[in-house]
Amino acid sequence: MASSRDDFIIAIRSAFLKKSTQQKFSLLTLVFISIFIILLSSLDFKAVRYLKAGLSEVVYRSSFIVSIPENFVRNSFINIIEYTTFFNRYQNNRDELDKLKSDFVSNEIIQYENQELKVLIDDYISSSNKILAKIIVDHDSPFLKSIIINKGSKDDIKIGTNIYDQSYLVGRVIEVNYKTSRVLLLSDLNSNVPVTIAPQNIQAIVTGSGDNFGQIKYIKAGLSEELVDESIVYTSGTGAIFKSGVPIGKLRSKKDGSSNRYDVEFYSDFTQLKYVFAETITQIEIPQVEPEIVPIEDKSEELEESKLKILEDELKIIEETNSKFIEENENLTSEINDLNNQISVLNNEIFLQKQKINQFNLDTQELEFLKLNLEHGHKCRKSFFNADGFNVGTEEYKSCVLNGGRTGG
C-alpha cells in the first residue's frame, strides 16, 4: 500500500518538476506563470492593458494571415452554396429594393424632422461618422461570439462604439487596440441590448443565445401576450449604450412547454460579415443665444418699459377677446330670431294639419251615417206604417239609423 503511494508521489513529482533534455522550463513553473498571468489580467493594470493591446495587435494580424487558406476554403464553400440559390435571391432582392427605395424617402424626412425637433428642445445634435472596417478575424467560436475589425483607437474607435452591417446593428466594441478592435456580437451570451418592440411599443432586453438569434428577456409581466410574430425590434437607446432607433431584427414566437418563448431573428447574418461600419459619434452642443450685457443704470427703465409692453399686450389681447365675444353674441341673437320664426311657421303648419284631421273625421262620420241611412232609414222614418219612427233630421232619427234601425234601447 505504502509503496504504491510512493510510486504515485514519485510519478507526480517527476511530472511536475522533471525537465527533459529538450525542455527549458519545468511544468510547475509554467503553471505558476499561467496563474500569475490570469491574476494580472483580472486586475486590469495599465501596464498589463498596454501589453495586452500590443500582443493583441500582433496576434490579430498573424491570425489574419494564417487564416487566409482556411478563409479561402470557407469562402469557396459559401460561394458554391450561394450560387445554387442565386436567381431566386436576385428576384427577391429586386422586389425588396423597390420597397426599400420608397421607405428610404420617408426615412430621410423623419431624420430631418428629428433633427429639427432636437434643435427645438435645446438638445444636442449627434454628428455620426460611419467608418468602413474590415473583419480580419472571425472564428465563429461556439463559446464566444466576437469578431476582430481592422480599426482601432487610431480611427477614433472607443469601447462601446456601435457596429453596423448596412443600417442593422451587429454589436459593440469591447476591446480597443491601436489599429484593431474586438466586437462583441449581439448573438453572444454576454450581450444585452435594451430594445423597443414595435408596433406594440413594448420595452425589453434582447440577450444573445450563443446561436444566430437573440432572446427577449426581462419583459414586464402580462405584456408578452401582446407580442406577435414579425414585430420589429429596434434599439430603445436606454442606458445610452446603443443609439436609439437602430433596427435589430424581427420577432419570432416559439412554443416552449406551456408558455411561449420569443426569439429575435437578426436582420444581419453574422456568419456572412466581411465588412462592417463603425459609428463614431461626436455630440455638437447647440449654441445658446447669449443675452446682451446692459449697463446697470438702464436696467430699471428697461424693466418698466418691458412691464408696460406686457400690459399693453395684455390689453390688446383683452380687447380682441371682447370684440370676439360681441361678434359671437350678435351671431347668437340672430340665430335665436331665426329659430323663433321657424317655430311660429311650424305652429301654423300644425294648426292647419289639425283642422284637416278634424274635417276628415267629420266627413268619415257623415259618410258612415249616409251609408246606414240608405240601409236602415226606412225603419226609423216616421210614416203611416211606422208610427214608432222619428222625424228626419232629429237626433233620435240619427241614433236610430246608427243603431241599425232599432228604435228602442
Partner 1 sequence: MEVEQVANLKTKGSFSKLYTWLPIILLFVSVLNEFDFNYLKLEYFSFNFPFILIFFFTLKDFKHFDYLFVFFAGLLNDTVIGLPLGISSLSYTLICIATAYIRNITIRPSPMKDWFYFLFIISLINSLNYSVLTLFFSYDLVLTSYLVNTTCTFLLYIIFVSIFKYYMKGIND
User: Interface residues with partner 1 (CB under 8 A)?
Assistant: 7-8, 10-12, 14-16, 18, 20, 22-25, 27, 30-31, 33-38, 40-42, 52, 55-56, 59-60, 62-63, 66-67, 70, 74, 77-78, 137, 139-144, 146, 175, 182, 189-190, 210, 271
Question: Residue 21 or 344: which CB sits closer to partner 1?
Answer: 21
Question: Residue 15 or 311: which CB sits closer to partner 1?
Answer: 15
> Whole-angstrom Cα distance, residue 27 to residue 335?
106
Question: Per this entry, what is the length of the chain?
Answer: 409
Question: Residue 75 or 391: which CB sits closer to partner 1?
Answer: 75
Least distance from C-beta 263 to partner 1, angstroms? 16
Question: Residue 138 or 397: which CB sits closer to partner 1?
Answer: 138
Least distance from C-beta 252 to partner 1, angstroms? 18
Least distance from C-beta 146 to partner 1, angstroms? 5
Question: Residue 13 or 158: which CB sits closer to partner 1?
Answer: 13
Question: Residue 49 or 309: which CB sits closer to partner 1?
Answer: 49
Least distance from C-beta 36 to partner 1, angstroms? 8
> Whole-angstrom Cα distance, residue 79 to residue 151?
27
Least distance from C-beta 229 to partner 1, angstroms? 23
Least distance from C-beta 26 to partner 1, angstroms? 8
